[in-house]
Amino acid sequence: MTSDDPNSYSMTLAYLPGPGVPHWLNKGDNAWQMVAATLVGMQSVPGLVILYGSIVKKKWAVNSAFMALYAFAAVWLCWVTWAYQMSFGERLVPFWGKAGHALNQGSLLAQAGLPATEHHHSDGSSETPAIGPFYPQASMVYFQCVFAAITLILLAGSLLGRMNFKAWMLFVPLWLTFSYTIGAFSIWGGGFLFHWGVMDYSGGYVIHLSSGVAGFTAAYWVGPRSTKDRERFPPNNVLLMLTGAGILWMGWAGFNGGDPYSANVDSSLAVLNTNICAATSLLVWTCLDVIFFKKPSVIGAVQGMITGLVCITPGAGLVQGWAAILMGIVSGSVPWFTMMVVHKRSRLLQQVDDTLGVFHTHAVAGFLGGATTGLFAHPDLCPMFLPVTNSKGAFYGDGMQLLKQVGGALFIISWNVVVTTLVCLVVRLVVPLRMPDDELAIGDDAVHGEEAYALWGDGEKYDSTKHGWYSENDTEHNKAPSGVTQNV
């Protein structure tokens, strides 16, 4: 490009200081934040869309994938219209922000900021300033939206194989508005748990504990799958399930690495700890399957991977590498025990049909992550992220931090039980929560008029006596699972 090129001046405006490159912009931070957001978005689409569509019985492949895809789209519109400001805007009450849109280019191109996050000492003096990353508000809205979306998609894992899709269409915006925004503002956006000093680096409570508890609660109100589906629910494509799981794992680099709101040294540590904990948890879960069931279960390995990713999330940038290994051991063993032993002996857990065991993989693992963060949070790492000065875990002398972590978890649990119940009851006034029995018997073809695989004639209805894994008179049909990791 030469100086006499008529387009030279307009082309350089994108790079020179000015409206497109304000003085506060850090291009590296902005680039990483958008990449991190995209990685998290890919965890949902296509990651969980593929995983859900593959891990379920083949007659539910389309419905399960579509529940994830619909939630991702619906959250986007709600987020920019009102929910972002409720989560990260001006304070309305100690646990909720004021509703408002995030659609004005003036505010979206201005420097990002979370106005309610300035922390004060008990005497009212400023302790730490409000969070103000060095990139535009548009990047913050994008990053936080994909977190909100994946929370609803994780919640859907408890409801696969029987929830009325029309009910799901109503449930998503209501739960986002009255549950997710509360947790996000309370812990991240400047609410009372944020100022109290509860540690949740990247969503162990806001995303995983809330989705696990809400999913279990909603599963109670929706009701169980059909008896045949509960007795036998094999994945329709294990290799594609592993593809979705792999996208989920790799996408977690953006999930945890993007939460310092900067491409800084703590972001690097968070990504490293994430992989350490996930790998440890997967190996521990697999070893337990081999020891007790004599078979290394692929589904079990995926569950162990997920519990490790969930457990490290609240402390990814706050703990050292050795602590990440310990957290992986905990996340690979305790949720395994609750799923494989406690679940099978508990009348309540047996009564509620949590399709993918989201209660164990997200609620239990999320709580463990928050508690172990309260133990192992390092005093040199906490100042890089937390608003409360001199924060540290109980292992380093602050036993109060563990109590804060438990208190924060109890708030998230109780709020989600109550609000999810109310949302289900309201939706039930409009449309049934559960599909009718004839749709449950047929699956995708009855619900959507579409099927995942063309395995029989065009236009032919699903017939379990011809297309099922077992016929009605198969003597093996009613036998219990063979011992490898499976959710009942």
Asked whether residue 473 carries a pLDDT value surpassing 70, the answer given is no
Q: What is the pLDDT of residue 454?
A: 73
pLDDT per residue as tens digits for the range 162-208: 999 999 999 999 999 999 999 999 999 999 999 999 999 999 999 99
Sign of the alpha-carbon dihedral angle for 17, 21, 23, 26: negative
pLDDT in tens, 333-376: 999 999 999 999 998 899 999 999 999 999 999 999 999 999 99
d(CA 182, CA 419): 10
Output the six-digit token pair for 405: 């972590």
Over 90: is that where the pLDDT of 476 sits? no
Whole-number pLDDT of residue 126: 85
**291, pLDDT greater than 90:** yes
Cβ(195)–Cβ(189) below 8 Å: no
Q: How far apart are CA 174 and CA 427, in angstroms?
A: 9
Indicate the SS3 state at residue 262. coil
Q: At what angle do helices 137-156 and 61-78 cross, to 10 degrees?
A: 150
Backbone angles phi, psi at 454, to 5 degrees: -90, 80
Question: How large is the C-alpha radius of gyration of the chain?
Answer: 23
| Per-residue pLDDT tens over the stretch 417-471 | 999 999 999 999 999 999 999 999 999 999 999 999 876 544 455 565 555 544 4
- Backbone torsion region of residue 190, taken as left when φ is above 0, otherwise alpha when ψ lies between -120 and 50, otherwise beta: left
Question: CA-CA distance, 190 to 115, in Å (whole number)?
Answer: 8
pTM of the model: 0.90
Considering only 124-133, 274-283, 303-312, which range has the smallest mean pLDDT?
124-133
Pairing of strands 96-97, 119-120: unpaired
> Long-range contact list for 447-451, CB < 8 A, 24+ apart?
447/62, 447/63, 447/165, 448/62, 448/63, 448/66, 448/165, 450/62, 451/59, 451/61, 451/62
